Chain A
């Protein structure tokens, strides 16, 4: 199961809507071994395409260097589909290379850049096998901290 806070969920959806009709992509990093998506990192889709996404190789290097220095790992790897359902494509499955990550797919096919619901689904992709999992959205962490006396 993927547990993600509302603010991060909203940020992923906003990014997907903004970049539509191109695919949007990014990562949510979290402390190593925590399975907690904590730090939202929007990436540029170097492919700039409605049917493909790829992190720029220099950006990728910097991203992993930063995570390494912070003892983080990619907890969520997200991207959007802009004309098809939020299910991993054959290319997604073939290229998935983070066995510990939750692969989040957002589909903007229904409302594009406009307000309105999106499909937001999460998967494990390990050795070519796709397993969908439940997504639980929790209240933003900030408000939890603020409500603590």
Chain B
């Protein structure tokens, strides 16, 4: 099973500069754990207290995961995951 995960500029230090990496997992939680194995530190930038960080957006096949089950969202071979930090401020 292979899922392409697209990494935003600010998190590329965790992926040796790669714009996209491959990972496995039947759910978003499992995928993030798998990512952490190969790219230590990444998990903490995505999760806070076991929840997706408020200002990090994750999309599965163009859909914001917040609308499709959050961390429990299911993944299948060939899916594409995109991580984008929110563009926000005060």
Chain A interface (Cβ < 8 Å from any Cβ of B): 25, 27, 43, 47, 51-55, 57-58, 60-61, 64-65, 73-74, 77, 79, 88-92, 95-100
Contact = CB atoms under 8 A, between A and B. Distances in A.
26 contacts: A47-B88, A52-B90, A53-B89, A54-B89, A55-B86, A55-B88, A57-B57, A57-B64, A61-B62, A61-B82, A61-B84, A64-B84, A74-B87, A77-B87, A88-B89, A92-B90, A95-B55, A95-B86, A95-B89, A96-B89, A97-B10, A97-B86, A98-B10, A98-B85, A98-B87, A99-B9
Interface in B48-90: 55, 57, 59, 62, 64, 66, 82, 84-90
B8 interface: yes
A57 B66 contact: yes
A57 to B, nearest CB: 5
Interface of B: 8-10, 55, 57, 59, 62, 64, 66, 82, 84-90
Contacts of B90: 51-53, 89-92
A97 B89 contact: no
A25 B87 contact: yes
Contacts of A79: 89
A61 B57 contact: yes
B87 A27 contact: yes
Given A60-B87, A61-B64, 8 more contacts: A53-B90, A54-B89, A57-B64, A60-B84, A60-B86, A92-B90, A98-B9, A99-B9
A91 B89 contact: yes
A54 B86 CA distance: 7
Contacts of B64: 57-58, 61
A54 B87 CA distance: 6
- Specify which of B57, B64, B82, B88 lies most central, judged by the most chain A CB atoms within 10 Å of its CB: B88
B45 to A, nearest CB: 10
Contacts of B87: 25, 27, 43, 54-55, 60, 74, 77, 97-98
